[in-house]
Amino acid sequence: MYSINKHIIKINIKIMKNSKLIKWGILHSLGVLTYIALLAIFMDNASSWFGGEDKEIITPIIVLLLFVFSALVTGALVLAKPIMLYVDGHKKEGIKLLSYTGLSIFVLILLSSLVLLISK
């Protein structure tokens, strides 16, 4: 009887881990979406905030710095926790979290595309 209960507890812990990983994957992808939305709002309004004319060398510098910063932010949101899990010896969980985050981002791409198609 004891071994059956122990086995059931193991299964419940495994299910909880998977649901927690799915939740974290969704939250990370929503973080990426939020960052991208804020960046899009900034880029849409930048010409009215900073003036419409091109500032010669400053504009490409700012765009490239923003590109590198964006890679840092999105990379941290998508990769930091899975890499930490992987390095700490939780390899399966790290790979699952990265997969769930990637799948969630893909679903967000599909939903955004659907909204764009419907709004035409």
- Predicted pLDDT at 52: 67
Q: The pTM is what?
A: 0.76
Tens of pLDDT, residue by residue over 35-76, are: 999 999 988 887 787 776 666 788 788 889 999 999 999 999
Separation of first and last alpha carbons in the chain: 62
E strand intervals along the chain? none
Residue reference for tokens 């035409």: 120
pLDDT-derived band at 90 (thresholds 50, 70, 90) equals: confident
How many residues in total does the chain contain? 120
Q: How far apart are CA 96 and CA 58, in angstroms?
A: 42
**Exposure pattern of 97-115 as b/e (b: 16+ CB <10 Å)?**
bbebbeebbeebeeeeeee
- How confident is the model over 68-93, as a mean pLDDT? 92
